[in-house]
Structure 1
Amino acid sequence: MTDSVTNEAWKAAPVDAASRQALTTRGLEYRTVSHDDPPAFAGWLQAVARGFQDGERNDEHIAVNRELTAYRRLTGVYDAAAPMADTPVATIASWIAEVSAPGGRAIPSCAITSVTVAPTHRRRGIARAMLEGELRAAAGAGLPMAMLTVSESTLYGRYGFAPAAASASWTIETKRARWVGPQPDGRVDFIPRARLRELAPELHDRARRGAPGEIEVPAGHWDNIAGTRRDAKDTDKLRAVQYADAGGQVTGLAVYTVEGNDDDFTKATVTVGYLLTATDDAYAGLWRFLLELDLVGTVKASEQSVDEPLWWMIDDQRAATITLRDHQYLRILDVPAALEARSYGAPGRFVLDVTDLLGIAGGRFLLDAAADGTASVTRLADDDRPTGAVEVALDVRELSAAYLGGVLLATLAQAGLVQATDADAAARTFGWHVPPRLSVWY
């Protein structure tokens, strides 16, 4: 966590003054919502459910969510003239969590979720006021990054967010996918879901820093994954397994469901809800187990890396259908802090001319990347022209997109989004050999 703000301090922080004033002029109230006020929390949660076209929440669901989301800062926009004045017409939530950067370090980030605006109040500038207010507040608190996963991919670029880690969804025909990968000497065993819930946080923390884009997962997410929420439905369909190495240490976990096929009992479908591995052996052991399950014709998995070793562990690569989509979005708030927190693929010297329509992270910066992968970043005056530096002009969106190494600056230059005097040199330095990924939604 950052020294400048704890999550508790972030929860208690006031809303952004400029956004509050902008919404006040529209006859709306912009304020935080406390978990310690059950009626206010219930109204806020019902607004979130409505915003995502879900049904009304019952008392048990509200109570469980109030408990599991206690770490979040909740904000709502209220219309006193509405018939349901105690239910906000717009919502947003956030908390501070680490995101892994290239090189094995993690930096504090403002994780944003539950962004909704009621259909009765669209096109009034409410979403803009909330998101800009959240970003200004996070930057003011000293956070170098903001992040989110999105339902609608076209909404967030205007606020400086960019897709920085894609995810892959796999559909595998098991009869064609004969295993040709390693055969580790550990063992796979079924375990209670409660045991998986117990093991997952520590195992994830052990593995996440090696994968750029992974985040520090809040506790409540593990209950969703393991089906251990007390209000969870259909948990009897979940099966949990672990992989333990030859020494007995658990280094891998998986949760999956099976859907039978009444037309052909040998062609059931397995859906992998979550797979977590800390070693290559655990990865191979769990995937082999899943692909060789009896009476299964198809295995499906989502939130996978764009460069999975599994592709090379089956003898017929055409047995797998892989689709890609945007997943982890980043938004740099502090250019020097963010860029100094990651490692670089090659030495180089660059002047970064960064634009930011929100006025948060723009400016000219000198980045000196050393041979050991570290870098120093200093702010430049507009007329500074350091010798021997590659000039790169880009928006904060493109800098955020390239931050994890998931897209090369040379690619963005070819797309007309980046101007560079040597795009290939920029690509070598900002690129990274480990593809970014994010294994959860938040």
Structure 2
Amino acid sequence: MSSIDARDVTADPTSTERLATSGLEYRVVDLSDDTRSAAFQRAVDRGFLGAEPTGDMIAQVAKTFAARRNIGVFEPDATDATLPIATTNAWITPLTLPGGGEIDMWAISAVTVAATHRRRGIARALLEGELRAAASAGVPVAGLTVSEATIYGRYGFGSAIPVARLTVNTRRAGWGGATPPGRLEYVDRDTLAADLGTVHERARRQVPGQIPGWQGRWEGYSGVAPTPDRDQARGVRYLDEDGVLRGVLAYTVSEASGTFRFRMDVRLLVAETADARTALWRFVLQHDLVDEVVADLRPLDDPLPWLVADPRGVKQEVHDHGWLRILDLPAALTARGYSAPLDTVLRVEDPLGFTAGDWRLRVDESGIATVEEAHGGSADIELDVSTLSSLYAGGVRASSLHGAGRLTGDRAAIDAFDKALVAFPSPSLDIWY
């Protein structure tokens, strides 16, 4: 939806100057050179404590990184083969919103700082640099998925899209759901990768919080990519009564030591229709020799606990996943739909200044919003940008954050805000980025 290419955005001058005072070079890295590309990828894998990548893995990931804006931090006089001491990359992608619309999001990934260079302000320069770059390009929202949940609130990000990890004891849970029409069929790796991309792109438009995947992601899930566990990858697809592709499942199985009983790990189960989702879950839970199923990044309103005979056979663990950061408040709040009318004044604190101020948010009966600056009056609700960003996708309740002291206002104002913001269906995000 965006005509902006993140690769055209130059390195943030504030972060460049700040790190230069520490003798470090902050720059956009051109990965068209194989040596620089390999060094950058090795630094990313080192940062996430991954194994040293093979040549095939480097070539695979290079295809994805080439489409992104890659930032590296280097010691002075670093050569092309020198690993950066810090990395990040970004691209602009549509984010599905409550009400079915989309907004441009500056997606941030591969944020690493070498353990040898901690506590030198590098992470701050990276994150704030990305936010200033996004704002300079006119992108109203930034987002990321995180390995640590205590870092990003200080930059105005909020945990906005919770998900569930489902662990199923298949012997206890059994199956209590329907048997949908249509059929399931196994597919080879290349077909699985293609089908994942096709169905995900259609299905993600139905659910707030989702973003598009990319070819490298699907090749990783399907076993096309040269990952260590590629030979364990399997996949099936669901075709409806008319033979139309409506759902896809990528999974792996592993044996419980010496028992000839297995655990299935669902890499991705994506469905465009309820029948497709039910059929794929039925396949998973009734698979021969599988005693345990683990599926992470599932939506909080996933029907699986209601499809089994014994719901106590399904353990649900809710955790944070998608984090958002509003950069342009009027653009962000007017892009999404709302579930109830609203007329309120928000007082927003933002340490980086992007959204700070008093804002009047009005929502009409059809769920369409207008936003304007408010001057000279009192505010109905006071909150910081991290809290507002947590609420943005409609998956976190304003009443919960009010109870935690994250926003203030009288009960009537909070209730009205809560009713307007809640989203249906529940927001979800089924990939890492």
1:82, distance to aligned residue in structure 2 (A): 7.5
- Please give the TM-score of this superposition, normalised by the length of structure 2: 0.96
Residue aligning to 1:432 = 423
- Spell out the pairing of 1:214-225 with structure 2 (5 A cutoff): 214-225=210-221
- Spell out the pairing of 1:188-337 with structure 2 (5 A cutoff): 188-229=184-225, 231-265=226-260, 267-337=261-331
For 1:136 and 1:261, the matched residues in 2 are separated by 49
Residue aligning to 2:398 = 409
Amino acid at match of 2:249: A
Amino acid at match of 2:128: E
State the Cα deviation string for residues 231-287 of structure 1 (Å, max 9, x = none): 33332211110011111001000011122235543x321111110100000011110
1:107, distance to aligned residue in structure 2 (A): 0.9
**After the TM superposition, which of the residue ranges 36-45 and 117-126 deviates more from structure 2?**
36-45
Aligned match for 2:165, one of 159, 166, 169:
169
Question: Structure 1: which 5+ residue stretches go unaligned?
Answer: none
Q: Secondary structure of the equivalent of 1:260?
A: strand
1:18, distance to aligned residue in structure 2 (A): 0.9
For 1:309 and 1:435, the matched residues in 2 are separated by 12
8 Å contact 2:341–2:363 — kept in the other structure? yes
For 1:431 and 1:262, the matched residues in 2 are separated by 45
1:412, distance to aligned residue in structure 2 (A): 0.8
1:85, distance to aligned residue in structure 2 (A): 8.1
State the Cα deviation string for residues 14-47 of structure 1 (Å, max 9, x = none): 1111111111111111100012122222221121
Amino acid at match of 1:324: V
1:97, distance to aligned residue in structure 2 (A): 0.8
Show structure 1 runs of 4+ deviating over 6 A. 81-85
Residue aligning to 1:353 = 347
Q: Secondary structure of the equivalent of 1:175?
A: helix
For 1:367 and 1:68, the matched residues in 2 are separated by 39
Q: Secondary structure of the equivalent of 2:11?
A: coil
Residue aligning to 2:35 = 39
For 1:79 and 1:215, the matched residues in 2 are separated by 35
**After the TM superposition, which of the residue ranges 51-60 and 102-111 deviates more from structure 2?**
51-60
For 1:263 and 1:142, the matched residues in 2 are separated by 57
Residue aligning to 1:52 = 48
Q: Secondary structure of the equivalent of 2:44?
A: helix
How many residue pairs are counted as aligned between the two chains? Answer: 431
Residue aligning to 1:397 = 386
Q: Aligned pair 1:420/2:409, yes or no?
A: yes
8 Å contact 1:2–1:143 — kept in the other structure? no
Aligned match for 1:155, one of 112, 131, 151:
151
Residue aligning to 2:95 = 99
8 Å contact 2:176–2:308 — kept in the other structure? yes
1:13, distance to aligned residue in structure 2 (A): 1.6
Are the structure 2 counterparts of residues 56 and 233 from structure 1 closer, same or farther at C-alpha, using a change threshold of 3 Å?
Answer: closer
1:122, distance to aligned residue in structure 2 (A): 0.9
- Please give the TM-score of this superposition, normalised by the length of structure 1: 0.94
- Spell out the pairing of 1:90-129 with structure 2 (5 A cutoff): 90-129=86-125
8 Å contact 2:36–2:80 — kept in the other structure? no
For 1:60 and 1:11, the matched residues in 2 are separated by 25
8 Å contact 2:98–2:423 — kept in the other structure? yes
Amino acid at match of 2:227: A
State the Cα deviation string for residues 114-149 of structure 1 (Å, max 9, x = none): 111111111110110111011011011100100000
Are the structure 2 counterparts of residues 284 and 340 from structure 1 closer, same or farther at C-alpha, using a change threshold of 3 Å?
Answer: same
1:200, distance to aligned residue in structure 2 (A): 2.0
8 Å contact 1:78–1:85 — kept in the other structure? no
Q: Secondary structure of the equivalent of 1:176?
A: helix
Q: Aligned pair 1:131/2:127, yes or no?
A: yes
1:96, distance to aligned residue in structure 2 (A): 0.6
Question: Structure 2: which 5+ residue stretches go unaligned?
Answer: none
CA-atom RMSD, angstroms?
1.7
**After the TM superposition, which of the residue ranges 303-312 and 144-153 deviates more from structure 2?**
303-312
Amino acid at match of 2:426: P
8 Å contact 1:69–1:220 — kept in the other structure? no
Amino acid at match of 1:123: R
For 2:80 and 2:9, the matched residues in 1 are separated by 26
1:411, distance to aligned residue in structure 2 (A): 1.3
For 2:321 and 2:228, the matched residues in 1 are separated by 26
For 2:200 and 2:346, the matched residues in 1 are separated by 34
Q: Secondary structure of the equivalent of 1:424?
A: helix
Give the fraction of aligned pairs with identical amino acids, expressed as a percent. 42
Amino acid at match of 1:214: Q
For 1:362 and 1:398, the matched residues in 2 are separated by 13
